[in-house]
Amino acid sequence: MDHFALRGGVMHAEDVPLPVIAQEVGTPVYVYSRATLERHARVFRDALAPLGDVHLAFAVKSNPNLAVLKVMQREGYGADVVSGGELMRALAAGMAPADIVFSGVGKTRAELLLGLEKRIGQFNIESREEGRELAELAAEMGVEAQATLRINPDVDAGTHEKISTGRAENKFGIPLVHAREAFAELAGLEGLNLRGVAVHIGSQLLDLSPLEAAFEKVGALVANLREAGHNVTHVDLGGGLGVPYKAGENPPSPAEYGAMVARVTKGWGVHLTFEPGRVIAGNAGVLLTRVVRVKRGGNGPPFVIVDAAMNDLARPALYGAWHDFEAVEPSGERMTANIVGPICETGDTFARDRECDALQSGELAVFRTAGAYGATMASSYNSRGFVAEVMVDGSQWAVVADRIAPETISDAERVPEWLE
Ligand SMILES: Cc1ncc(COP(=O)(O)O)c(C=O)c1O
Ligand SMILES: N[C@@H](CCCC[NH3+])C(=O)O
């Protein structure tokens, strides 16, 4: 069921007509559906039910809004965080420290300390150097850090190269060939309880086979480590499951993913963690925007210039990503257009030669599948500020992030006296 659908010719988010939100909050604005988030959280959990008791850690980077995190917390999810900022957000949303996993290749000393002070449940260590530093800090504090070693399985995830993380040349994890040696060293350090292995090969995967290949390598490593006398009790299988951005894209369902994981991990005898992000949040949000004007007379199709831009939704500019673009009150007529934002960069193009609903100046439209890696990747480029975020729940809705005006950002800047 789509919680962003036409009713009486007007697109709604659940029971709320989008023009009402545009009228009261202005545009551009991200709109999230609580019901969609909850449904995805449950579908993913149910898909893994055959695996027994697993730990679900929502990838905060995909959508760190506090209201979104609260929904996930109420659904029994913990958090996968990659910075001190995300860690504090997870705690602010009421997630238990024990349910927080700290990933990331460049955790600073201060971030490691923060994780230790908060007694988070798991550090996913990405290098020997990081492991040594964490062990030293923990030993100084007289505590023991719970940790896994993130390995790099050298598997091509078959996704966009900028979001692929499991090939040998990527910066993430410890190469599989060095994993045994690294594990042996770190497992012997005071301050560290190295209890398992983690893997994450990339995002927006549309095929299960690279995941399966990576998990099989993890399984072999677990067996190896046990043969070498290590006690391996935890494995973190990361996130990465793709979502459909356009018609005809058919990512594996959570159920297919769950069945594959159950098959591959059979007999491992470990506690499993998962770090889903996009599959939960992606289709739970749209970016609502208004057409500034339609510019005609060039060589190609008209430019539909919307008030959202690459600073608000970076994915098309960064990865050439596709987001469906639909009128909020479609007339039934269609057009072919270049859909662009107002930023002074040709890269500020959401779609070229796109067949879409016919739109005119002042009309509303949405970019779909903007709930993950949308608002969170915004910048204030061209001094455009940050857009607001709204969450809808049935017929009620609330602003869950205020619009940040350009003036608020420049308030944090100053001209030094010697320049006055
Ligand atoms: C370590 C880690 N875990 C989880 C995720 C979440 O991935 P996704 O949003 O593709 O599920 C990412 C991002 O790719 C990640 O880097
Ligand atoms: N930002 C990326 C996903 C990155 C995943 C990071 N682990 C995207 O929008 O697709």
Q: Is ligand 2 within 6 A of the CB of residue 163? A: yes
The answer, yes or no, to whether any atom of ligand 2 lies below 6 A from the CB of 373, is yes
From ligand 1's centre to the CA of 337, what distance in Å?
A: 33
Q: Which ligand is nearest to the CA of 63?
A: 1
**CATH 2.40.37.10 placement within the chain:** 4-32+282-410
Known binding-site positions = 240, 275-278, 315, 319, 345, 373
171, 204, 206, 243, best to mutate for ligand 2 pocket (most atoms within 8 Å of CB): 204
Rounded-to-integer distance, Cα 358 and Cα 341, Å? 17
Residues 103, 118: Cα–Cα separation, whole Å: 15
> Which CATH class for the 34-278 domain?
alpha beta
Closest ligand relative to 279 C-alpha = 1
ipTM: 0.98
User: Which portions of the chain are predicted below pLDDT 70?
Assistant: none
The residue to mutate among 61, 201, 249, 310, having the most atoms of ligand 2 within 8 angstroms of its beta carbon, is 61
The closest-lying atom of ligand 1 relative to the alpha carbon of residue 124 is 1
Give, in words, the CATH class of 4-32+282-410.
Answer: mainly beta
- Give pLDDT, residue 78: 98
Question: Which ligand 2 atom is nearest residue 239's CA?
Answer: 7
Cβ partners under 8 Å of residue 104, min gap 6: 81, 82, 83, 111, 124, 126
Count of residues for the chain?
420
Q: Say how many Å lie between the CA of residue 132 and the centre of ligand 2.
A: 29
**Rg of the chain (C-alpha set):** 23
Q: Write out 118-133 in H/E/C secondary structure.
A: CCCCEEEECCHHHHHH
- Among 48, 123, 126, 278, which residue has the most ligand 1 atoms within 8 Å of its CB, making it the best to mutate? 278
- Model pLDDT, residue 158: 86
Catalytic residues: 344
36 lines ligand 2 (CB under 6 A): no
- For residue range 387-396, list pLDDT tens digits in order: 999 999 999 9
User: Do the Cβ atoms of 65 and 32 come closer than 8 Å?
Assistant: yes
Tell me phi and psi for residue 333, to 5 degrees.
-80, 155
Q: Which ligand gives the minimal distance to the CA of 316?
A: 2
Q: Which-ligand-closest: CA of 201?
A: 1
Long-range contacts of 112-118 (CB under 8 A, 24+ apart): 112/137, 113/137, 114/84, 114/87, 115/87, 115/145, 116/141, 116/143, 116/145, 117/141, 118/87, 118/91
Distance 160 CA to ligand 2 centre (A): 9
Q: What is the model's pLDDT at position 130?
A: 98
pLDDT of residue 303: 98
Spatial CB neighbours of 227, under 8 Å, sequence gap ≥ 6: none
- pLDDT tens digits for range 238-274: 999 999 999 999 999 999 999 999 999 999 999 999 9
* Phi, psi (deg, nearest 5) at residue 51: -85, -5
Asked if 303 contacts 295 with a C-beta cutoff of 8 angstroms, the reply is: yes
Q: What is the pTM of this model?
A: 0.97
How far is it, in rounded angstroms, from Cα 390 to Cα 395?
13
d(CA 277, CA 272): 16
| Intervals of CATH 3.20.20.10 along the chain | 34-278
Atom in ligand 2 nearest the alpha carbon of residue 200 = 7
Q: List binding-site positions for substrate.
A: 278, 315, 319, 345, 373
Query: Tell me, what DSSP letter sits at residue 252?
Result: P
| 3-class DSSP state of 193 | strand
The pLDDT assigned to 402 comes to 98
- Report helix, strand or coil for 211: helix
> What is residue 167's predicted lDDT score, i.e. its pLDDT?
87
CA angle 94, 372, 342 (to 5 degrees): 125
- From the CA of 203, how far away is ligand 1's center (Å)? 6
| Ligand 2 site, residue 369, Cβ cutoff 6 A | no
> Which residue's C-alpha comes closest to atom 9 of ligand 2?
373
Distance CA 169, CA 152 (A): 9
d(CA 411, CA 404) in angstroms, rounded, equals 11
Q: Residue 182: CB within 6 Å of ligand 2?
A: no
